[in-house]
Amino acid sequence: MKAFLAGCVAAVAIAVVAALVLGGLGMSSAEVFQAAQSVRL
């Protein structure tokens, strides 16, 4: 049970870290389909 809970918590933690890192690099999920390269200068 503890291993299961630890697995769930770790999955969420890794997902949050990934979101923060990709968001910080300007590659967040919301941005990938409207990538900065497509924005008119």
Partner 1 sequence: MEIRMRLTGICRGICGGICARVLGTALIGLAFLLIGGIADLGHWWTSQAAAQSGGSVRPPASANKWAPSRPGKISPQGGGDVQKGVGAGNLPKTTGPQQSQPRMWRDIRRGIQGKVSIPNQKAGYLIQSQGQMWRELRNTKVFKFGAWLLAGTVAVLFLFFIYRRRIPIDGGESGRTLERFNNLERFAHWLTATSFIILGLTGLAMLYGKAVLIPLIGKSGFASLMMLGKMAHNYLGFAFIVGIVLMAVIWLRQNLPDKYDIPWLLKGGGLITKGHPAARKFNFGQKMIFWSVVIIGGIISYTGVLLLFPESGSLIDMQSNQYWHAVLSLVMIAVIIAHIYIGSLGMKGAFQAMGSGHVDENWAKQHHSAWVDEVAGKDGKASAGGAAE
Q: Return residues touching partner 1 (CB under 8 A).
A: 1-4, 6-8, 10-12, 14-19, 22, 27, 29, 32-33, 35, 37-41
The least distance separating partner 1 from the CB of residue 36, rounded to whole angstroms, comes to: 8
Q: Where are the beta strands (DSSP E) in the chain?
A: none
Nearer to partner 1, 24 or 39 (CB): 39
Nearer to partner 1, 24 or 40 (CB): 40
- Side chain identity, residue 5: L
For 22, residues 6+ apart whose C-beta sits below 8 A from its C-beta are 28, 29
- Side chain identity, residue 7: G
